Amino acid sequence: MLDAMRDQTFTAQLIDADSKQRQQPPYARNWHRSLDPRYAVLVGVCTACGCVPRFVAEAMPDAVVGGYICPCCASRYDPAGRAYAGTARYNLPVPPYQLDVRSRLTLGKNPPGEMFTLDAVERI
């Protein structure tokens, strides 16, 4: 799945492939939009209509395995929350969080030396 998320044919479909819009902390501005590619930490609110996207484990047409689809507007997001189909023009937001050496995740707390709040995102 991680390799498929980097496939150039797929990334060409992404609305904001390089995460240039302020939808994540600077430390999550990468192809997997996280501190560690094994984890996706996202705000589960569609950026087009405000509904809760559902996780879909199967591959969707022209997409990678896994991802999110909004039941209201049919916006689609890959496993990293990057928008690629439907009316969404913003990736799902990434909240502030940190991982410790034992991979314990703490929401609402940035890694040492970092400062980010959800007030900074363009669209929730």
Domains of the chain, each with CATH number or no CATH: 1-124 (2.102.10.10)
Q: What is the pLDDT of residues 10-52, one digit of tens each?
A: 999 999 999 999 999 999 999 999 999 999 999 999 999 999 9
Name residues whose C-beta falls within 8 Å of residue 28's C-beta, 6 or more positions apart in sequence: 19, 34, 35, 41, 94
Structure tokens at 26: 């600077």
Question: What's the pTM value of the predicted model, to 2 decimals?
Answer: 0.92
**Residue 71 pLDDT greater than 90, yes or no:** yes
Angstrom distance (rounded) from CA 120 to CA 3: 30
Angstrom distance (rounded) from CA 54 to CA 121: 22
Q: How many degrees, rounded to 5, is the angle at CA 27 between CA 25 and CA 33?
A: 75
Structure tokens at 25: 């902390």
Return the closest-CA partner of residue 48 out of 70, 31, 29: 70
Structure tokens at 92: 């799902």
Per-residue pLDDT, 62: 66
Q: How many degrees, rounded to 5, is the angle at CA 32 between CA 88 and CA 110?
A: 95
Per-residue pLDDT, 48: 97
Per-residue pLDDT, 111: 94
**Residue 53 pLDDT greater than 80, yes or no:** yes
Return the closest-CA partner of residue 74 out of 44, 54, 94: 54
